Amino acid sequence: MPTKKFSGDASSKFQIVILYDTAAAGCRAVELTQRVMREASQEMEFRRALWRFDVLGLPGAIRSADTCAAAADLVIIATSRESRLPANVKKWLARWRDSSTPDASALVALLVSSRPAGGGLSPVRRFLQETAAEAGQAFFAAERAPRVGSVGAFRAPVRPAFGTPETDGFRRTPNVTTLQP
C-alpha cells in the first residue's frame, strides 16, 4: 500500500485515516481533524476514513483499510490503551510501515495516559513512535490524563463502522463545511 506525497495545493485531497478503540477516542481524533480543516486552505478537500480497532479483524475490512492507508496523508491512532495495541492493529500498522513511501505521510498518536509526569513513554507510544521511524514518517503524539465520567464534547454525528469504513468527504468554503456523500 504505497502512500503518496501530498502536494499541498488547493485542488488536492488531503486523506486522513483514523483508527480508534472507543467512541471517546474516535471523537477526539475527529475533533483534531476538524481543527486541521479550519486552519487549512479554504479550497482544500479533505477525505476522512474511520476504523474501529475491532473492525480491522474482519477480512473485507482489512483490504479496505489497507486501500485507505495507501492514499493517507495522515494516519491517526486514537486509543486509551497504555500497555499494548491489539494484534490486528499492530499487523495493520506493520503493513502500512512496510509499504509506505518515506516522508509521504505522518503518524499521530492521541493517547490517554495515567502515567505521572516524567514517568517515561507508555509502551503504546513507544511502539507507535518506533513504527513511524521505521517507516520514515513523521510522528506526533499528544497524551492526556483520563477523564472520569466524560466522553468529551463532540458536535457532529459519528456513524459506527460495521465492516466498512466510515468515510466523509469535506469541501471547505468560507465559513461553511459541507458533507459530501
Which tens digits make up the pLDDT trace of 121-159? 888 999 999 999 999 999 999 988 877 654 443 333 343
The residues, any chain, with a CB within 8 Å of residue 89's CB and separated by 6 or more, are 19, 53, 56, 77
pLDDT reported for residue 17: 93
Which tens digits make up the pLDDT trace of 111-124? 987 776 667 788 89
User: How does residue 36 score in pLDDT terms, banded at 50, 70 and 90?
Assistant: confident
Averaged confidence pLDDT in the chain: 76
In the chain, what are the domains? Answer: 13-147+161-170 (3.40.50.360)
Q: Is the pTM of this model over 0.85?
A: no
Q: In what order do the strands lie in the sheet with 106-112?
A: 138-144, 106-112, 74-79, 13-20, 45-52, 166-173, 176-180
Cβ–Cβ < 8 Å for 48, 170: yes
